[in-house]
Amino acid sequence: MVIQNARILDFSNKKVVEGDIEITEGRIKRIAKGLKGNKIIDANGLFLMYGMIDPHTFLGIAEDGVGYREFDLNETSDIITPQMLPSYAIHPEDPAIKESASWGITTAIVMPGFSNIIAGAGTIIKTHGKSINDLFIKEPCCIKVNLTRTPIAYHQKDKLRTKMYAYAVLRKKLEETREYMKKSEKKRDNSKEDMKLLSMVLKGEIPLLVHVHRRDDIERVIALKEEFGFSLILSGCEEAHLIPSLLKEHNIPCILGPLMRADKDPETRNTTFRTCKVLEDHGVKFALSHAQSENPVKLLRFLAMYAHKAGLSKWGALKAIAQTGYEIFGLNDMGNIEEGKIANIVAFDKDPMDWKSKVVWTMIEGEIVQRGEI
């Protein structure tokens, strides 16, 4: 297959290239002018960018249009549930999955919600398929931790009242995991799925994704990272703009979102799109999230536009909804239209950063799976 006459957004080199794309077995084989093939798709001047990624969603486990009866988002049986796997709850027919593809989101990280201190694993999915096997890319890709005040609200019955206790519970579990890892294989209890998953974190096989809002919590989590030696991704981090040098020093990537808020929560009152500009200026890696199901999936690209309006560079904004999210989760064969990458491509009728631009078609692994926005 060859896509001809395209305007290709090259994130790595920050430029638009006119040319053709040859796709073989779901991957980009060549990018050049004058390519020929048995099957031709004439882009006729459409803007092609790499498929977007939302790095913190609840697709399929907080299904659109069904209310809380069908929500598998928040497991409240315990404060610590690292063994929760989204693949056991994702409903492939969730309308938000198809809608995501129609708006150019080809990949998503699905995670449990905010009820527990350790909530469970993250799962990487495609946004096209009839079954969980069709959607599935990787699980676990991280273990999610919540250190906001939300778990306190869910676990009053468990005597969780303060952040002091939340941090104490998390530290105790990490220390238990470290002791578990010191045991020989013969002496380990292999039935403990929670320990096996947390061992992956402490061995550096997967990162710990920690959802925090305030500066002081960011600082405390970085101290935990230094103590236990795990790889860290921060999510939420609405006050990241107050300590960009610290984030850069420790090479901590951030997932920002939702940056469009109407609430008056004291923990998130410093939310601002200017955070993106500050992090860009300090060389901190960050991606944007629309935080589905709190917001509609179609919002993701518009968040990039608002961030650009608040000072973020145009290419920085585009990378924040595409390339950087893939990099944060180690998806090295995705993220940019270049040779060797998986062919997840979105075609726009205008520059994707133009408010009037629309998705014409969405391609996942070399197949056009959706035409137009829904």
Q: What is the pLDDT of residue 68?
A: 67
Lowest mean pLDDT among 37-51, 98-112, 119-133, 258-272: 258-272
Which CATH number characterizes residue 145's domain?
A: 3.20.20.140
Tokens of 352: 């994707």
Say yes or no to pLDDT of 190 above 90: no
Please state, in angstroms and rounded to a whole number, the distance separating the CA atoms of residues 42 and 45: 8
Say yes or no to pLDDT of 4 above 90: yes
| % of the chain with per-residue pLDDT over 90 | 89
Pair 357, 324 in one domain: no
> Looking at residue 82, what DSSP letter applies?
T
Q: Residues, the chain, total?
A: 374
- The domain in which residue 250 lies consists of 52-334
Please state, in angstroms and rounded to a whole number, the distance separating the CA atoms of residues 343 and 364: 6
C-beta separation of 101 from 125 below 8 A: no
Pair 75, 24 in one domain: no
Q: What is the pLDDT of residue 188?
A: 87
Please state the pTM of the whole predicted model: 0.96
Say yes or no to pLDDT of 261 above 90: no
Structural domains of the chain, count = 2
Q: 129-144: per-residue pLDDT in tens?
A: 999 999 999 999 999 9
Q: What is the pLDDT of residue 67?
A: 67
Q: What is the mean pLDDT of residues 244-270?
A: 90
Lowest mean pLDDT among 50-59, 151-160, 309-318: 151-160
Q: What is the mean pLDDT of residues 90-104?
A: 96
Mean pLDDT score across all residues of the chain:
95
Say yes or no to pLDDT of 245 above 90: yes
Say yes or no to pLDDT of 98 above 80: yes
Greater confidence, 187 or 240?
240
Q: What is the mean pLDDT of residues 292-302?
A: 86
Q: What is the mean pLDDT of residues 288-307?
A: 90
Q: What is the pLDDT of residue 129?
A: 96
Query: Distance of CA 147 to CAs 18, 95, 220, 221, Å?
Result: 46, 30, 10, 9
Pair 179, 76 in one domain: yes
Pair 255, 346 in one domain: no
Pair 8, 83 in one domain: no
Please state, in angstroms and rounded to a whole number, the distance separating the CA atoms of residues 261 and 101: 24
Tokens of 279: 């992090």
Q: What is the pLDDT of residue 295?
A: 83
> Looking at residue 51, what DSSP letter applies?
P
Q: Nearest 5°: CA angle at 99, between 96 and 102?
A: 160
Pair 185, 210 in one domain: yes
Pair 236, 342 in one domain: no
C-beta separation of 362 from 373 below 8 A: no
Pair 42, 77 in one domain: no
Pair 305, 354 in one domain: no
Say yes or no to pLDDT of 48 above 80: yes
Pair 122, 228 in one domain: yes
Pair 12, 125 in one domain: no
Helix (H, G, I), strand (E, B) or coil at 359: strand
> Looking at residue 316, what DSSP letter applies?
H
Pair 47, 60 in one domain: no
Q: 196-209: per-residue pLDDT in tens?
A: 999 999 999 999 99
Greater confidence, 262 or 290?
290
| % of the chain with per-residue pLDDT over 70 | 98
Which residues face 256 on adjacent strands? 236, 288
Q: 55-84: per-residue pLDDT in tens?
A: 999 999 998 877 666 689 999 999 999 999
Which CATH number characterizes residue 369's domain?
A: 2.30.40.10
